[in-house]
A and B are shown apart, each in its own frame.
Chain A
Amino acid sequence: MSQWLNHVLERASTVDDWLSPVRAQALDTLKQQQWPTRRTEAWRYTSLHPVADLQLQTGTSNNTAEAPFIEGLNSLDLVFVDGQLSTDISKLQLPEGVTISELSAPSEPAEALFAQVKPSHHLFGLVNDVLAQQGVVIDIAAGAKVKQPIRIVNFASAGIESHQRTLVRVGANAQATIIEHGSGSGNSLNTAFAEYDIAEKASLEHYRFALHEGESIHIGGSHFKLHDHAKMNSTLIGYGSQLTRLDVDIEHAGEHAFAKFNNVYLLAPREHFDLHSTIEHASPNGTTEENARGIIGDRAKAVFNGRIHIHRHAQKTLAELNNRNLLLTRGAQINTKPELEIYADDVQCAHGATVAEIDEEALYYMLTRGIDKQQALVMLNFGFVQEMVFQMPNKALADWLQPILKTRFESMMEQQ
């Protein structure tokens, strides 16, 4: 057992709002959970040692922060600092068809969504159920085509433990762009879980940036439920920190749903990043395209677990998952595990994981253009993840991210 988890259980009862009955239920489930060890399959390659006996300041902090400016993005920002919402929602000019409320305020969508999309067995998801007092509920009305991206900024400061929750409902035929923009540094623990319910023929463009670094610990997930003919296009960017663990679940609840999920992790020396993705094809005619690409620095460790589960009735499913990794040194580590469970007989499914090597032909081509070998290798290696950035539908975000990732990559190369 962990001191930290014991402390969570003690603190749980202090939370009192309209969600209390739901939280009580989550608490019951949480009490029955074992503290994961390396023998627990979901945590086999990620040690929870840094969390087990963690003691940080909980409750409110006085820290403030500005949302990072992204040129041309023009987003509607909801800023959380250490789990506290610092944006005054009542003063926001909301685009037509958008309703935003605080988690603590009772609302129909909150009730319909809370812990409905997120898997109920996730230990830290349950901790978040129990402890997250603040969060936002975003409701996109049926048919609303919302152009302005909505960004949830989530800062974690040194010395603080925080929990944040996001609930989103995209109504039938609606369109929206949501960005979860998280960062943290110093010795901190932040959990952030988001649930997305994407109704019939709705379309969600989604980004999750987990730009946590150094000693920070970030554990969270984004969970999506797709109904008939719903579409999502999601890009996840992770840095890796002392410990970053993300669970992304995509559930094809309705037929003819489409999910594209790209993710990139760029680990500086000694950092740890763990991504578990689970794609549930519970209905026929669904499509999933998932691409994960990682570059792993010296003595850093990445874990990728990609599961595709095609249920018995999910005929005509098309699912592709590809994970490619580039290890910068012999000390870099990747544990990649594809998992396929297929119970339908008329499906197309491809699944692959590789540790990449340099494409010799591409290198030769670059050299014939006079580019130095060292520079050509930098461009090719970075090109490997940059390809994912190019695919981001939002150009302002891509233009902002590209140089940031490039600088990070160049400093990773220099540290070799």
Chain B
Amino acid sequence: MLSIKDLHARVEETTILKGLNLEIKPGEVHAIMGPNGAGKSTLGYVLSGRDGYEVESGSVEMDGKDLLDMEVEERAQAGLFLAFQYPVEIPGVSNMEFMKESVNALREARGEKALSSAEFLKKAKEACKQVELPLDFLKRGVNEGFSGGEKKRNEIMQLIMLEPKIAILDESDSGLDVDALQVVAKGVNSQRDGKRSFIVVTHYQRLLDYIQPDYVHILSKGKIVKSGGPELAKEVEASGYAWLAEAEAEGADA
């Protein structure tokens, strides 16, 4: 599904990702944890193709195709979805027209017919319900005046609508209380169908209590330094990230 090999990327003059490797098979959920500044958000931006995030070397293939050679919108059309840590407000564009344009752009890319207004509305209403957003929110500007929790739920609502092959959730838990966290997790879990893959980026173990990962990776200084099963997240919860510095010091000694 997604194959990242020896990825190096920088923002301006600073190299952030320094040889990242990751293999994700269909249906797998990979959690990426790490301290602040490890490069967690950068990974999402690089994979989605954000301007200013320059790939120095390495490769990323999605379904055997060179992801890095695609434009931002082509990556989305190929089935990549990024749930933003800080979703953007677009006051003059309504959620409704935004989602309709988006859903139909992806359908067209897949060779499917555009949804009619009625079909779209039905689907949108169901998705709203799933993440417990009121319907009138569809008429409001994209993320305009939403609380932090509403913005995060809106990202999950988009995930549900867009049916990607792989979704990257960039700290979808940050700033959420337990109730909102459960809503977000429930929305995500409803989309786990054995084929769709997820990269769950998080600082804390908390989210992983609700979204059970198959693998947990620890990212530090632009590299994955440790991989394991769900138990690795519990270790982090117990001991924090301080051990990373010690491990690195040992590594330097050796």
Chain A residues with CB under 8 Å of chain B are: 359-362, 364-373, 375-376, 379-380, 382-387, 390
Q: Give the CA-CA distance A376 to B97 in the complex, in Å.
A: 11
- Produce 1/0 per residue, B38-77, CB < 8 A to A: 0000000000111100000000000000000001110111
Name the one of A368, A375, A387 contacting B72, with C-beta atoms under 8 angstroms: A368
Name the one of A361, A367, A380 contacting B93, with C-beta atoms under 8 angstroms: A380
| Given contacts A365-B87, A382-B92, A385-B92, A370 and B105 within 8 Å (CB-CB) | yes
Residues of chain A within 8 A (CB-CB) of B105 are 369-372, 375
Q: Determine the residue in chain B with the shortest Cβ distance to A373.
A: B73
In the complex, are the beta carbons of B97 and A379 less than 8 A apart? yes
Name the one of A361, A370, A379, A385 contacting B76, with C-beta atoms under 8 angstroms: A370
Q: Determine the residue in chain A with the shortest Cβ distance to B158.
A: A369
Name the one of A370, A383, A385 contacting B90, with C-beta atoms under 8 angstroms: A383
In the complex, are the beta carbons of B92 and A370 less than 8 A apart? no
Residues of chain B within 8 A (CB-CB) of A387 are 91-92, 141
Size band of the B side of the interface? 20 to 34
7 A-B pairs (CB sep. < 8 Å): A359-B90, A366-B102, A368-B82, A369-B105, A372-B105, A375-B105, A383-B93
Residues of chain A within 8 A (CB-CB) of B81 are 368
In the complex, are the beta carbons of A390 and B94 less than 8 A apart? yes
What's the minimum C-beta distance from B103 to chain A, rounded to whole angstroms?
A: 9
Residues of chain A within 8 A (CB-CB) of B88 are 361-362, 364-365
In the complex, are the beta carbons of A365 and B90 less than 8 A apart? yes
In the complex, are the beta carbons of A366 and B77 less than 8 A apart? no
Residues of chain A within 8 A (CB-CB) of B92 are 380, 382-387, 390
In the complex, are the beta carbons of B101 and A375 less than 8 A apart? yes
Residues of chain A within 8 A (CB-CB) of B89 are 362
Q: Is B169 an interface residue (CB 8 A)?
A: no
Q: Give the CA-CA distance A390 to B142 in the complex, in Å.
A: 12
- Produce 1/0 per residue, B90-124, CB < 8 A to A: 11111001100110011001000000000000000
What's the minimum C-beta distance from A360 to chain B, rounded to whole angstroms?
A: 7
In the complex, are the beta carbons of B50 and A370 less than 8 A apart? no
Q: Give the CA-CA distance A89 to B82 in the complex, in Å.
A: 60
Name the one of B76, B141, B142 contacting A368, with C-beta atoms under 8 angstroms: B76
Residues of chain A within 8 A (CB-CB) of B77 are 370
Chain B residues with CB under 8 Å of chain A are: 48-51, 71-73, 75-77, 81-82, 84, 87-94, 97-98, 101-102, 105-106, 109, 141-142, 158, 162
What's the minimum C-beta distance from A406 to chain B, rounded to whole angstroms?
A: 10
What's the minimum C-beta distance from A262 to chain B, rounded to whole angstroms?
A: 12
Contacts A370-B162, A372-B105 given; 8 further ones with Cβ under 8 A?
A364-B51, A365-B84, A368-B72, A370-B106, A370-B109, A371-B102, A375-B105, A379-B98
Residues of chain B within 8 A (CB-CB) of A369 are 76, 98, 102, 105, 158, 162
In the complex, are the beta carbons of A362 and B48 less than 8 A apart? no
Residues of chain B within 8 A (CB-CB) of A364 are 50-51, 72, 88
Q: Give the CA-CA distance A355 to B77 in the complex, in Å.
A: 33
Q: Determine the residue in chain B with the shortest Cβ distance to A364.
A: B50
Residues of chain B within 8 A (CB-CB) of A367 are 49, 71-73, 76
What's the minimum C-beta distance from B69 to chain A, rounded to whole angstroms?
A: 16
Q: Give the CA-CA distance A362 to B87 in the complex, in Å.
A: 9
In the complex, are the beta carbons of A371 and B94 less than 8 A apart? no
The residue in A367, A370, A383 that gathers the most chain B C-beta atoms within 10 A of its C-beta is A370
What's the minimum C-beta distance from A240 to chain B, rounded to whole angstroms?
A: 20
Q: Give the CA-CA distance A4 to B28 in the complex, in Å.
A: 79
Residues of chain B within 8 A (CB-CB) of A371 are 73, 101-102, 105
What's the minimum C-beta distance from A295 to chain B, rounded to whole angstroms?
A: 11
What's the minimum C-beta distance from A392 to chain B, rounded to whole angstroms?
A: 13
The residue in A371, A375, A385 that gathers the most chain B C-beta atoms within 10 A of its C-beta is A371
Q: Give the CA-CA distance A362 to B93 in the complex, in Å.
A: 10
The residue in A361, A365, A369, A384 that gathers the most chain B C-beta atoms within 10 A of its C-beta is A369
| Given contacts A370-B76, A372-B105, A362 and B90 within 8 Å (CB-CB) | yes
In the complex, are the beta carbons of A360 and B51 less than 8 A apart? yes
Residues of chain A within 8 A (CB-CB) of B162 are 369-370
What's the minimum C-beta distance from A84 to chain B, rounded to whole angstroms?
A: 39
Residues of chain A within 8 A (CB-CB) of B109 are 370
Q: Determine the residue in chain A with the shortest Cβ distance to B161.
A: A369
What's the minimum C-beta distance from A409 to chain B, rounded to whole angstroms?
A: 12
Question: Ordered nearest first, which 8 A-B pairs have the shortest CB separation?
Answer: A383-B92, A387-B92, A370-B76, A367-B72, A369-B102, A365-B88, A383-B93, A370-B105
Q: Give the CA-CA distance A380 to B90 in the complex, in Å.
A: 8
In the complex, are the beta carbons of A370 and B93 less than 8 A apart? no
Residues of chain A within 8 A (CB-CB) of B101 are 371, 375, 379
Q: Determine the residue in chain B with the shortest Cβ distance to A383.
A: B92
Residues of chain B within 8 A (CB-CB) of A365 are 84, 87-88, 90, 142
Q: Give the CA-CA distance A359 to B94 in the complex, in Å.
A: 16
In the complex, are the beta carbons of B141 and A390 less than 8 A apart? yes
What's the minimum C-beta distance from B77 to chain A, rounded to whole angstroms?
A: 5
